[in-house]
Amino acid sequence: MSEKKKTALIKWWNGVPRAVKAAFVCCFIAGFIVHIFAFTNIIPNSDGVSRVYDEQQMTVSGRWFLHYASVWNGYFQAPAVIGFFSLLFMSLSASAVAALFKIKSAFIGGACGVLMIVFPSVAYTYLYTFTASAYFFGLLLAAAAVLLVTKYKFGFLFAAVPLACAIGTYQAYLAAAVSLSLIFVILYAMENGRTAKDVALCALKFIVFLSLGTLLYFGMLKLYLAAKELTLLNYKGIGTLGEGLTLRGIAVLVYKTYKRFVSYFFLPRGFSSYTTVFSAVVNAGFAAVGLWAFVKLTVKNKRPKSNPGAFALTLVLCALLPLALNLTVMMGEAMPIMRYALVFTYVFALVLADRASSLGEEDRDKDKKPRCFTLRGAAILASVFVFIISFNVDNIVYTVSAQAHRSSESFATRLVERVESAPGYKNGMEVVIIGGFPSGIYNNDIEPFSLVEDYSALSTSVMPLNKHIYYYLNDWMNVTWREPDEDLMIAVSDSPGFQDMPLWPDDGCVKIQDGRVIVKLAEEYTPKKDYEKQYENRK
């Protein structure tokens, strides 16, 4: 590299705000420390058992951009490579957030980066290792899109493209874009001298941006579905989202969204199983810090007297914030992996503390009296407690998932041994397995594991369904038993010989009948649902 280029690079680096650099570095380092288990182990779950290699053609789920967002790791479930790229994308996202909100303190910027990477939704995303880097790239696109809106006069127009791609990677990241946009408008409204008209125009710009991005997403989705001759997967309402929704139905959804928002942060074992009494107290403390900062900023800017209209709009926008942060409930689903936007609740409080503390620093320059130092310190202290809580939750998630994998491997090994030791067995025989992992037989009762969402399913096996057993045997154990077609499974399940067999693990639960091996893990075969058949024919 020439000296001229080195000088330009150093000049550019020195020009990056300290808070932006701190957000990147702290996010990357904290992510490596907290999630190292995910980067050094393969964690198959009920989806991952079929994803040793997968081209991520998920247009049937509305994720038409996922295939392109997955190229970083070559479609292989390579945890170290995926870990590097996912940390890179998350760290860039944290930097984008720090730049978006013009954070001044490196400590606050670093805290934002740390909380964004340790939030429990990240650990649940790493349970889907095969797609984690793509999802975090989608989050980066969403954050970058919002930042573009603020950087250029007509940024709200061309920023719709990365937003559409972000939603096309994972629909839940619409909530992230909406939340970041709304927080920016709130902070803009709180600035000294802003009028109601200024706030309304700023909000309108973001409304246009979000609308264009969403419309572009749906337009591209229709093109992809038509080109591939597919229909949307009828899974958890994806294919019929919004159809038949009445005013009463919308009101119920709004109420549920607010209720679950409060429950997530303050109700132990409410909306989230990993919300405890301790974490609820910490969250209450964090909320107090944010409210403290909000009041200080309001008083400092002499509101509501100076600009009552802008102040009223600020309160309205704040009231709408839980809807944005918890938008996935409005979208019809709220699995842990889909709740990522909720982390911006903490970020909002940190940014408020940063701005209130910055005002205090300005005052200190004038009259030499330190102010608001305790506010910034309280924000950092609250972040430390949230980090500790999240660190534990994340690694309990990994511990439980690893146990589920070991349990599955142990069971599958014994299953293969039972089949191959059956009298009359010959290599190459068709093996018909009826039923999923017998979770009612093999389980544990370790109390901390109950902090994990869907603990009962996750802790016992990664293959709860009939098809998952074949996926696991084929892709993870190199056992070449192919899944029989649906008609044969139903015919075997209905046969008198099968009905007379005892359930696993009793003697006689494996036998040879009509030239094939029959394994009885359940009383009857559960036919595949339409969405499962659609998924198998995705392209």
Q: Give the tokens for residue 285.
A: 């403390």
Average pLDDT over the chain reads 89
Burial of 5: CB neighbours in 10 Å, binned 0-12, 13-18, 19+: exposed
Residue 42: name the closest of 401, 322, 305 by CA: 401
> Is residue 383 very low, low, confident or very high in pLDDT (cuts 50, 70, 90)?
very high
Q: In this predicted structure, what is the pLDDT of residue 474?
A: 93
pLDDT bin (cut points 50, 70, 90) of residue 458 is low
DSSP 505: T
d(CA 142, CA 533): 31
Give tens-digit pLDDT for 67-122.
999 998 888 889 999 999 999 999 999 999 999 999 999 999 999 999 999 999 99
Of these ranges, 7-16, 182-191, 359-368, the one predicted with the greatest mean pLDDT is: 182-191
pLDDT, residue 531, reads: 80
Q: What is the per-residue pLDDT across 465-488, written as a single tens digit (0 to 9) for each? A: 899 999 999 999 999 999 999 999
Cβ atoms 426, 247 nearer than 8 A: no
Residue 212 has pLDDT above 90, yes or no: yes
* Percent residues over pLDDT 70 in the chain: 92
Q: Which of 297, 90, 81 is nearest to 176 (CA)?
A: 90
- pLDDT category at 371 given cuts 50, 70, 90 is low
Asked whether residue 242 carries a pLDDT value surpassing 80, the answer given is: no
Residue 462 — very low, low, confident or very high, per pLDDT cuts 50/70/90? confident
Instruction: Tell whether the model's pLDDT for residue 142 goes beyond 60.
Output: yes
Determine which of 16-25, 210-219, 224-233, 491-500 has the lowest per-residue pLDDT on average: 224-233
Angle (CA) 429 433 438, round 5°: 145
Identify any residues that bridge with 513 across adjacent strands, giving them in sequence order: 516
Query: Which residues contact residue 443 at a Cβ distance below 8 angstroms, ignoring those fewer than 6 apart?
Result: 456, 459, 460
Q: Is the pLDDT of residue 451 over 60?
A: yes
Confidence at residue 439, expressed as pLDDT on a 0 to 100 scale: 73
pLDDT band at 227 (very low <50, low <70, confident <90, very high): very high
Q: What is the pLDDT of residues 35-47, one digit of tens each?
A: 999 999 988 887 8
- What percent of the chain shows pLDDT beyond 90? 64
The winner for highest mean pLDDT among 167-171, 356-360, 363-367 is: 167-171
Q: State how far the alpha carbon of 200 is from the alpha carbons of 122, 158, 301, 478, in Å.
A: 34, 21, 19, 60
Instruction: Kindly state the average pLDDT of the residues 220-248.
Output: 75
Is the pLDDT at 238 greater than 70? The verdict is no
Q: Is the pLDDT of residue 362 over 60?
A: no
| Higher local confidence (pLDDT), 529 or 162 | 162
Residue 450 has what pLDDT? 78
- pLDDT reading at 11 higher than 90: no
Distance of CA 422 to the CA centre of its chain: 45
Helices (H), 191-276: 196-228, 247-266
pLDDT at position 145, please?
A: 97
> Which tens digits make up the pLDDT trace of 392-438?
999 999 998 888 898 899 999 999 999 999 999 999 999 999 999 88
Q: What is the pLDDT of residue 278?
A: 96
Whether the predicted pLDDT of 251 surpasses 80:
yes
pLDDT at 126 over 90: yes
pTM for the structure as a whole: 0.92
**pLDDT at res. 85:** 97
Model pLDDT for residues 320-350, shown as the tens digit of each residue: 999 999 998 877 667 889 999 999 999 999 9
Close Cβ partners of 446 (under 8 Å, ≥ 6 residues apart): 459
| Of 21 and 366, more confident | 21
Give the residue, 147 or 359, on which the prediction is more confident. 147
434-458: b or e for each residue (b if 16 or more CB lie within 10 Å)? bbbbbeeeeeeeeeebebbbebebb
Confidence of residue 193 (pLDDT cuts 50, 70, 90): confident
Q: Which pLDDT does position 1 carry in this prediction?
A: 60
Lowest mean pLDDT among 133-137, 175-179, 368-372, 389-393: 368-372
